[in-house]
Structure formats: structure tokens, C-alpha cells
Chains A and B, each alone.
Chain A
Amino acid sequence: MHPAIRIDGVTKRFGNVQALDGIDLEIAKGEFFGLLGPNGAGKTTLISALAGLVRPDAGRLAVMGHDVVAEYRAARRQLGVVPQELVFDPFFTVRESLEIQSGYFGIRDNAAWIDEILENLDLTAKADINMRQLSGGMKRRVLVAQALVHRPPVIVLDEPTAGVDVELRQGLWAFIRRLNRDGHTIVLTTHYLEEAESLCGRIAMLKQGRIVALDTTRNLLRRFSGHTLRLRLAPGHVLPDTLRARASAEAEGSRLFNLANCDEIEGILAGLRDAGCRIDDIEVGKPDLEEVFLRVMERG
């Protein structure tokens, strides 16, 4: 069985910049996959290569088993892309834009699905309004709708929530989650790492055109991050020698313990109690993708 996306040895150079440097990646059908990396890491170039907007110098890409160059028409029917830039055609209304986009994919009577998308993205009231008159957030929703008109099994969202308010973000993710539950493969790039953490089952991190980490979100969190214990002692109290070496100093007299597991908390608190230390403030931190990201980027 073909994976949803298969990328073999893809390279792309723009002048002196090696945008993609031998990318190999396979994304299974039904995955919610995150593509993370700093600006200029190659995320958008990779997505563009997948969509046929960028032609790789070497390597092959396939969507649902269809080569994006040799079988570009079949590949593009399988793919819906939400571009990063807020682009729109100022000549048309929201509904016209969606009808035209459906037609490009060879779908004539698509009114029922268009209505459903409009409703899910809270655009029904704006359906007959010209694109120029929409706010930035509304235009972003239309971009999502345009990517979905042909019911593609693979949906790529390139920074879909950049500059979008919280309400829309939550509504959008609820809709995308539902599409994922219905079997659509989702590929997401975002700078909001908490979004990637909560949505993506697997994540690839890119740096300078190379994949520097690829694993399930859970494994990445386990490998590169962990629980922490942050505490501040009452004035005049100091950590006992047995604990001092394990803690790092933080602002305002706080001390941070990196924990291998939560059981260690009990031992630390017992040590403090035995030393007669009084605690003013205490906080347990959960593993977080931002820390993973920073560590991977430092290492990569």
C-alpha cells in the first residue's frame, strides 16, 4: 500500500542557498504530521515541491502513490494546499472563488460540499461578499476552503493560523481534526509549537534543508524534554548539599530540577524537609515541544 506522501532524496538549490538537502520522508495515510523548523529551514520549499510549484533538482516526490512530476494531474487531485501567504482573487466573491476552484479540479456540481465547508468555517454569511471586503482572518478561512473543495485525501496547511484570532484557530482545528478522523492525511507547518504538540502524532524538524529530528511527538518529548520542578525557598534558606548539584539557578532565586520521572519529586521534597528548608513557591513543569525544538535546533 502506498503511503500518503513519499519523498526520496529531494534536493533543491536557489542560487547559493541549499533550500532542500536530501530529504527522505514517508507519511502514512491518516497521519496528522507536523513539519517544524525555523524560518528558511525549507518547509515551504518542501511543500511547494510536493504541490508542483517548485521543481526539485534531484529526488522524487509522490502523493498517494502518484509521482508529482510524471503523474502530476493525478498527484494534484490528491492534494489540497493552504498556502502561507494571504492570497485571493479580488474579482470574485467567496462562493465564486470556491466554485471556480472546484471547476479547476473538474468538479461541476459541488454546491452541497461548498455549503458544508462554508458552514464549518463559519463563512456562510460571507458567501456572496467580494474577497476584497473580507478581513485577514476571513480570507485565511477561504484559503482553507479552497484547499478542500475537491475533497483531497492529503491536506497540507502551511502556517494556517498565522495572524488568526483564537476563536477561529480553535474552530479551524476542530474542523481539521474532524477531517483527520474521517481519514484525511494532514501535514501541518506552524510556528505555534503548542498547536503542533497537541495536534500532530508525528513530527519532522527541519534545519537548513535537512531533517534533523523525526519521531512521534511523544518520543520527541521523552527524548529531548521532561518534567521539571521549579521552586523558590523562603529567605534565609539554602538548598542542602545533597540537592545543590542537581539544581540550576534561575531568576529571582528560583532553582530548577530536570526530572527523569515524576517519582524524583518525592525524594527532592524529602531532602528539603530533612534539611529544614521552607518553600515559598513550587511549580511542576510538563515536557514541552518548545524545549524539544530548541534542543534539536542547537544540536542539529
Chain B
Amino acid sequence: MDGFLTLLYKEVLRFWKVSFQTVAAPILTALLFLLIFSHVLERHVRVYENVSYTSFLVPGLVMMSLLQNAFANSSSSLIQSKVTGNIIFMLLPPISYAQFFAAFVLAAIARGIVVGLGVLLATLWLVDLSWRAPLWIAAFALLGGAIMGALGVIAGIWAEKFDQLAAFQNFIIVPLTFLSGVFYSIHSLPPFWQQVSHFNPIFYMIDGFRYGFFGVSDVPPLLSLGVVAACFVVLTVFTLWLLRIGYRLRA
């Protein structure tokens, strides 16, 4: 248990030591998105009744920042450790692969939530948010962070070079998050793209998270929770299997 707690502590300390880069920078990026999109679209787009576009945008940006940073935390830590070779310090001790997984995922959730909270606090003065279902907010934040943390572990294990990880991030994670309904409701899309969006698990994370604020969503929140929970289970099983066989970690 102590090995797990130490690994978790080390992973949290790692991002906290460079919080200007890992926390402040993504908060600034989210604020810039909010300022630009709200300035351009506030008067032209209304997604839900009685909800301004800027208010609609904030939960999406919070969740997008949370997800991207959760992924970045576990993936960047692993690839750095692999490339520099210091991953050996985590592989030599008696830490089980389940503990290894849990520590990386929990640290990813921690960074995601710190960044998400930062975006939320920085935008609260700009918008009038309601908090219809806080438990749904917490559930989607935790599960979303866990899913992206697990994906980060997979990417970090798979990638052998920084550019492979960058490709994973730029060609998979970023498109999935940007095309998940952060900036729009999928009802505004043509029917084909609406259908395509339903295959994007991040859409359900954003939609369910947003439901917690406004009490309205594109699909029923229970369906979103089911999809997100199923994704988490599948990714957890897959990642644990990778760790158990030592894929690209133990020759």
C-alpha cells in the first residue's frame, strides 16, 4: 500500500512542481477559448432555452481541460520516464501492476480536477452558472479523468518516442475532445455527424457533465454515465493486461 501511495504522491508532486506549465497554462488556454468564442458567438448561438452561449460553453471547456490534462499527466510522465530511463525506479520496487495503474490514473484525475477547477473559478465571474445536479458533475469529472488517465497510461506505454506520443495526442485525443460538443450541441449538426458523434465517448463525458449544471443534455445522463462507465471498465481491463504482460516496460 505504501508503494502505491508513494507513487501517487510522486506523480502529483511531479506536476505540482511545474504547475506554471501543467496548471496555469491550460487554464489560460481555456480562458482564451472562452473569450474568443463567447465574443464571436454569444449573440448568434443559443443552444438551450434560458442558457446563454457563454454559460453553455463553460462546463464544456472545464471538462475539455480536465480531460486533456488528465491524459497529458499520465502519458507525459510515462514517456519521460521511459525515454530518460528512470522508469527503472518504479519497476524495481515491489509495486503491483494494479497499484501502478491506480497511482497513475489517480494522479491524472488529480491534475485534471485541479485544472478543471481552475478554469471553473477563473470563469465564474464571467457567467451565471446553475448547479442542478452536483453529483453528476462529480461523477463525470472523476470518470472522465480516470478514462483519460488510463488512455494516457496506454499511450505512455505504447509510445517509444516523444513524437509518437504527440501523434497519439494530436490525431486522437485533440480531435475527439474538440468534436465532442464542447463548443456546440450535436443537435446543431447534420444527421450524419450527429450519428458519428454518438461513437465518440468524450461526447458523453461532456454532455453528462453539462447536465449536472443545467439539468438538460443532448442524450439522457444515465445513458452517458453507462457509456462512460463501460469505457472505463474496458480501458482498465486493457491497461491492466498491458501492465501484467509488461508490454514495452519489461522485455
Instruction: Report A's interface with B, CB cutoff 8 A.
Output: 14, 48, 51-55, 72-74, 76-77, 79, 81, 83, 85, 87-92, 96-97, 100-108, 146, 150
Contacts and interface: CB of A to CB of B under 8 A. Distances in A.
B89 A146 contact: yes
A105 B3 contact: yes
Interface in B1-57: 1-3, 5-7, 9-10, 13-14, 17-18
A144 B127 CA distance: 55
B100 to A, nearest CB: 10
Contacts of B95: 104
Contacts, number: 84
Interface stretch (B80-88, B153-161, B163-171, B185-193): B80-88
B88 A83 contact: yes
* 8 nearest A-B pairs in the assembled complex, by CB-CB distance: A103-B6, A104-B93, A73-B94, A87-B85, A106-B2, A76-B94, A54-B251, A89-B86
Contact of A52 (B5, B6, B14, B91): B91
Contacts of A72: 94
B92 A76 contact: yes
B251 A14 contact: yes
B88 A76 contact: no
Contacts of A55: 246, 250-251
B17 A76 contact: no
17 contacts: A14-B251, A51-B92, A53-B251, A54-B251, A55-B250, A73-B94, A74-B94, A76-B93, A88-B84, A103-B6, A103-B7, A104-B90, A104-B95, A105-B3, A105-B93, A106-B2, A146-B89
A91 B3 contact: no
Contacts of B9: 100, 103
Contacts of B96: 73
Size bracket of the B interface: 20 to 34
A296 to B, nearest CB: 28
Interface of B is mostly: helix
A52 B88 contact: no
Given A51-B92, A54-B250, A76-B92, A103 B3 contact: yes
B91 to A, nearest CB: 6
A91 B17 contact: yes
Nearest to B91: A53
Contacts of B92: 51-53, 76, 79, 81
Given A55-B251, A91-B17, A104 B86 contact: no
Contacts of B86: 87-89
Interface string B210-251: 000000000000000000000000000000000000100011
Contacts of A101: 89, 93
